[in-house]
Amino acid sequence: MYTLAILLLILAFASGASLWAVMILATALGALSIGRGFDADFGGAVSEFIKLGTGDAADVFSTIPLFIFAGYIMAASKTADRLVNVSNALLGWIPGGLGLVTILACAVFTTFTGASGVTIVALGGLLMPALVKQKYPERFALGLVTGTGSIGLLLPPALPLFIFGTVLGLQQELTKQWAAQNYLWEWDTQRFIFAGIGPSMVLFACMAVLVVATAIVKKVPREKYDRPDLGKHIARSIIVALPELALPFLIIGALATGFGGIAEIASLTVLYLIFVEMVVFRDITPRTLWNITKESLALVGAIFIIVFASSAVTNYLVTAGVPEKLVAWTQDHIDSRIGFLLALNVLLILVGMMMDIFSAILIVLPLVAPIAFRYGVNPYHLGVIFLLNLEIGYLTPPVGLNLFISSFKFRRPVTEVVWSVLPFMGAMFVALAIVTVVPSVTTEPPPKPRGTLDGLVAVVKSSKQAVINVKEVTAPDGKVFKQAECGAIIDEFDRDKCLLLFTEVTECRQKADPAEAKECEDTAMKEYFGETDDGGSFEDDGDDEGGGGFEADGDDDEAADGDATDEDADGDAGTAPAADGDAGAAAPAAADAGAATP
C-alpha cells in the first residue's frame, strides 16, 4: 500500500505537480507509516513556520522577500546595460576583454537577482551578439553566456545565501542532540553571506584563464583605446553607473561594520533602489513598479510555502530518525572527511541538475547537514560547497535548467548548448576541487564578541571540567544521573528528551557568565525533572503526577527497608537501572515510575 502511494507521489511530481503539495502528502504518508499520525500542526510545520517569523530567525527570514523585490527592480531597469558598459571600459582592452566583461557582468547581475536564468535572459541578448561580432567562436560565445549565468550565487547579497543560512539554523534547532557536538562552530547567517567571497574569486580566476587562453589561441581582436580616451571612457561609464555599482559595497560595508541588522539593511536596499531607478535613472514608472511588486510576491509566496512544506518533512525525518540512520550508513561505507565531501559533490550535482536551487536547499540540506557535522565539516565550508555544486548542476546534462533556458533564448538545439558549456563546466570542476580540498579558501569572518576577557578566561578554565561532566548530572534528589541511562528508556520521544537534557547542560556550561550559566542549567533541570509547588525541590511527592524526579515513591528511599542496596533488583530496592515494577529511584525506564519521563 505504502509502496503504491510512494510511486504515485513520484509520478505526480514528474508530471508537474506542485513541489509543496508533494512534500506535504509525502510527510503525511511518512507520519502514518510510523504510527505517529498527521496532526493539525502538519507534523510541526505550522509551529516551526511561526518561529521563523517571530523567533531568532525572523530577521534573516524577512530579508528573503526584500532581496527578491530588489532583484526584480534591477532586472526591470537598464542596470544590465550600464554594468556591461562599465565592465567593457575596464576590461575590454585586454586579451579576452569582452569575455571577461561577460563573466563580471553576469556575476554581478546574478548576485542581485538571485536567479541565473534571469541573467541569461536579461544579458544574453546584449552580450551574445557582441561576442560574435568581436570574432569569438559562436559556440564558445554561447557556452560563455550560458556557463557564467550562475557564478554570482556565492557573492553577497545573493538570495541563496540567506535561504541556506535560515534553513541550516532551523535544522540545528530541530536536532540539538547532534548539533551540540559542534557547539564550537557558532552559526551566524550574517557571517555566512561573506563565506563565498574567496571561493567566488577562485571560480572567477578559473573562468578567466579559460577565456583569455581561448582569445589568444583564436586570435580574437581586442578593443583599442588611446590612453587619454581610455581614461575618459572608464571615468564616464563609472560615473553613469555609480549609484548601482556602489550598492554591493554599501551592503557589505554596512553588515561588516554593524551599521544595522540584516533586515534593516535589506529594507534600506529596496528603498535605495526604488529611488535610484525611479528618480535618478527614471527607468521604472509607478505602473511598472506595481507590476514588479505582484511578480515578486508570487515568487515569495512560492518560496514560503515550500519552506512550510520542508519544515513538515524535516520534522518527520527527525522523528523517524532518518538523519541518524543516514549518518550510521554513511560512516559504515565512507571512512574519511574528504571521501564524504567527494560523494557529497556527486550527489549535489545530480540534485542541482533536477531541482531549482531553492527547492534543493530546503529538501536536501536537512538530510546532508547531520552527516556533514559528524564528519567534522565546518558548516560555513559546507554551505559554500553546497551552493557551488548547485551552480554546476544548472549546467549538467541531460536536464540542467540553464541548458533549456539558453536553448529557448538563443533558439539553438539543447545538444549544441551542452557541447558549448563543457569547457566552462571543466573550469567550474577545477574550482570545486580547490574549494573542497582547501577549506581555508572559504572566507569565515571572526564571530561577534561574546563577552569580556574575564568571561573568556572563565570559559577556558571551566571548559575541560564541563566536557568531562557532560556525561552525568546531579539530579535534584542528589543522585547522579548518567547519560548512559537514557538508553534504557523505551519510548523514543522520551529517550530523545533525556539526551537533550545533557546537550542543554553542555551548552549552558559554555556560557561566559557564571550566573547566566547556572540559571541556564537550573532551567534545563527544571524542565526535565519538574518542580514542586513551593519551587524548593524537584522531587516527586509520592504519586505519579509529580514533576518527573527520580523519587517515584515517597517511602522508597535509598535503603528504604534497611536491607536494600544499590545492586538490588527486587521490587523494594531502588537505584539499579534494571530494577522492576515498583522501583524507580534511579531507573529512567522503570515501568510504574514516571520518574525520568518529563
pLDDT tens across 77-90, in order?
888 788 778 877 77
Q: How far apart are CA 98 and CA 223, in angstroms?
A: 8
Residue 340: CA atoms inside 13 Å, Cβ hemisphere, count?
24
344-348, 349-353, 478-482: least confidently modelled range? 478-482
3-state secondary structure (DSSP) of residue 360: helix
Q: Where are the alpha helices (DSSP H) in 375-452?
A: 379-393, 401-410, 414-437
Cell numbers given for 471:
556525561
pLDDT band at 36, cuts 50/70/90? low
Chain centroid, CA 24 distance in Å: 21
Contact call for residues 125 and 102 (beta carbons, < 8 A):
no
Phi, psi of 134 (to 5 degrees): -90, 15
Q: How far apart are CA 161 and CA 192, in angstroms?
A: 7
Q: Which helix (H) or strand (E) holds 330?
A: helix 322-333
98-112, 336-350, 351-365, 439-453: least confidently modelled range? 439-453
Most confident of 284-288, 520-524, 561-565: 284-288
User: Which pLDDT value is given to residue 537?
Assistant: 39
220-234, 338-352, 426-440: least confidently modelled range? 220-234
CB atoms within 10 A of CB 205: 14
Q: How far apart are CA 55 and CA 369, in angstroms?
A: 22
Cell numbers given for 400:
540542467
User: Which pLDDT value is given to residue 594?
Assistant: 39
User: Which pLDDT value is given to residue 35?
Assistant: 55
Cell numbers given for 288:
511598472
Residue 279 burial (CB < 10 Å; 0-12/13-18/19+)? exposed
pLDDT band at 209, cuts 50/70/90? very high
pLDDT band at 191, cuts 50/70/90? confident
**Preceding amide of 243 cis, omega within 30:** no
pLDDT band at 2, cuts 50/70/90? low
The vertex-119 CA angle with 68 and 98, nearest 5°, equals: 140
402-416, 449-463, 571-585: least confidently modelled range? 571-585
Chain centroid, CA 57 distance in Å: 12
pLDDT beyond 60 at 119: yes
Q: How far apart are CA 423 and CA 146, in angstroms?
A: 12
Q: How far apart are CA 546 and CA 538, in angstroms?
A: 9
User: Which pLDDT value is given to residue 373?
Assistant: 81
Q: How far apart are CA 77 and CA 564, in angstroms?
A: 83
pLDDT band at 266, cuts 50/70/90? confident
Mean pLDDT of 532-537: 40
Contact call for residues 153 and 110 (beta carbons, < 8 A):
yes
User: Which pLDDT value is given to residue 578?
Assistant: 40
Higher pLDDT, 538 or 97: 97
Residue 433 burial (CB < 10 Å; 0-12/13-18/19+)? middle
Give residue 592's identity as a one-letter amino acid code. Answer: D
User: Which pLDDT value is given to residue 495?
Assistant: 76
Higher pLDDT, 281 or 489: 281
Mean pLDDT of 282-309: 83
Q: At what angle do helices 197-217 and 138-147 cross, to 10 degrees?
A: 180
User: Which pLDDT value is given to residue 586?
Assistant: 37
43-52, 179-188, 255-264, 560-569: least confidently modelled range? 560-569
Higher pLDDT, 317 or 468: 317
State the average pLDDT for the chain. Answer: 73
Q: What is the pTM (predicted TM-score) of this model?
A: 0.61
